A and B are shown apart, each in its own frame.
Chain A
Amino acid sequence: MEVNKETVKKIAHLSRLQFTDQEEDKLVGEMTNILSWMEKLNELDTTTVEPLIHMSAELNVVREDIVKDELPHKNALLNAPKKDSDYFRVPKVIE
């Protein structure tokens, strides 16, 4: 897969990150390297191998529908960079 500046810009937008022109150039190189390295895997023939999604073979790990482990309101908000007595506060997401 070819990584160009457009790819970097798109991924940056999806992650809500901003880069300078210079940084973008640098990232094109780094991401290309990572992906080329991963391409190595394509050399393996996997036509008869089922895709592996989970690292454990466990199935149906479930819990009963019971309420527990709620955080006290104060603790829940504790680590937020911005908050008031009720809410998390974030930069305005619509204009």
Chain B
Amino acid sequence: MSVSEELRSKYQLVVGLEVHAQLLTNSKAYSSDANEYGDLPNTHISVVTLAHPGTLPVHNTKVVEYGAKMGLATNCSITRYNYFDRKNYFYPDLPKGYQITQDKTPICRSGFLDIKLKEGVKRIGITRIHMEEDAGKSIHIAGEEESLIDLNRAGVPLVEIVSEPDIRTTEEAYAYLSEIKRLVRYLEICDGNMEEGSLRCDANISVMLKGATEYGRRVEVKNMNSFRNVVRAIDFEMDRQIELIEAGKEVSGETRMFDATTGETYSLRSKENLNDYRYFPEPDLQPFVVTDEWLAGVTSSMPPLPQALYKKFTETYLLPEYDANVLVDNKETALFFESVAQHSTHYKAISNWIIGPVKGYLNELTLSLDQFPISSERLAELANFVESGKVSFAAASQKIFPVMLKNQTASPEVIAKELDIIQEGDETTLLPIIDEVLTKFADKVQQYKNGKTGLLGLFVGEVMKVTKGKADPKLTNKLVIQQLEK
């Protein structure tokens, strides 16, 4: 593509995203066969999935609950009277010949999501979130005359989250997707794995001259299986559309596919585009009415959400932004921090412990936080112990922490005593040692006094050596300076 930066800067990109999230239920949306990824083909199917005559769909309570949760997490209003619609299309991956979806009464409407950008926070509107079912998988093998159909995925519940066309840059698109992914994981309604297809994204992309009041004609791009590919597809499509417009041609409102190997989008043949879904109400599924009581139940089961936790961490615990960001990146870490913070008020110290040694340990052994052997209470004790000045952080993280990983009964203090690494912190024991060292290095003291202040480390190091590393480095530093400047 040969669109110059200058030409690009004349145009404004406009993007709306449609995200499909596969719900983490045990069973399918409207039938009770298992919602299970990765098993042998056609092993999780039922007469309903196969659309045998006379079979009827029934709601899975979890699906409605998860749909509402996503809406509550994105500040939507929850639709009280939900009925369902048939989206008709004839394709072998969906034996019924239609997909059950919500066309007219999406469970969630008119919400928003705040995304964090370099230049600040931006609000992206959420148009709607509706529930629907997934289709099966078709496998086309080159050279084969037939397509292979696996219906394990047919009927798996999805929510589709549709944003307003509020996204203006690829950075915003990326931030929006990251936030959606983080939310579905916090809510535990979807594993958020884009590579495996449990989170899928279609992008509606258009361009217009900067300052224009009317959007350009939009193109829907499908088939991006990573955040990075969404960004690549948007970039490519923006340039393609600018080139068309600059050449005096029209952008045709069509559906295009993204090809990850070339980084380009291509048009589906026009016949495929000739879809007329002929939506009409699904008479087989009874409406679902959201009552006050039911909604209150769902609301009370909501976990703390990342943005609220971030606010709490920075405002109540006064953590730096960096720490708060790392801690709220996933719910387990954030909640672990919260539970350690119940037992210690040294919040920054706890954060250092979690972001440093704890994460390091987990990463090294590729464990998750629920497999971490040290309880939050014990970790708080360790943090408090260091803050009391009895051991240095270095000694605690390199000597006590490894013992605690293996032994969950002993307290940090007991371990420190056993290891004989408790700092000899008080002045009365340290001062004579310091004086001794300074006398021994009288010539260096003179050099120090003549301005060679770099020698301070040498004196402190000597004191540490004499005390076998048990002197509190901070205090030693202070006392050595005090004695030198006497």
Contacts and interface: CB of A to CB of B under 8 A. Distances in A.
B138 A86 contact: no
Interface string B77-94: 000000100001011100
Nearest to B282: A53
Interface in A59-95: 59-71, 73, 76-77, 82, 84, 86-94
Interface residues of A, number: 37
Contact of A58 (B26, B63, B286): B286
A5 interface: no
Q: Which secondary structure dominates chain B's binding surface?
A: loop
Contacts of A14: 88, 90, 276, 278
A84 to B, nearest CB: 8
Q: Which 5 A-B pairs have the closest CB atoms?
A: A87-B148, A88-B149, A65-B62, A53-B281, A90-B92
B27 A88 contact: no
Contact of B145 (A60, A67, A70, A92): A92
B33 A70 contact: yes
A73 B43 contact: yes
A65 B25 contact: yes
B263 interface: no
Given A62-B58, A73-B42, A89 B147 contact: yes
Contact of A65 (B26, B144, B150, B281): B26
A76 B40 CA distance: 13
Interface string B40-77: 11111111001000000011111110000000000000
B61 A64 contact: yes
Q: Is the interface of A mostly helix, strand, loop or mixed?
A: loop
B149 A60 contact: no
Contact of B274 (A13, A53, A69, A73): A13
B34 interface: yes
B92 A71 contact: no
B42 A77 contact: yes
B146 interface: yes
B151 interface: yes
Nearest to A94: B140
Contacts of B148: 84, 86-89
Given A53-B281, A87-B139, A89-B148, 16 more contacts: A15-B90, A53-B83, A63-B58, A64-B61, A65-B25, A65-B26, A65-B61, A66-B32, A67-B32, A69-B31, A70-B33, A70-B43, A86-B42, A87-B42, A88-B151, A90-B147
A93 to B, nearest CB: 5
B43 A93 contact: no
B144 A92 contact: yes
B59 A62 contact: yes
A71 B60 contact: no
A67 B59 contact: no
A63 B32 contact: yes
Contacts of A68: 27, 32
B289 interface: yes
A71 B46 contact: yes
Contacts of B287: 53-54, 59-60
Contacts of B432: none
Interface in A1-29: 10, 13-16
Contact of B140 (A64, A76, A93): A93
Contacts of B144: 92
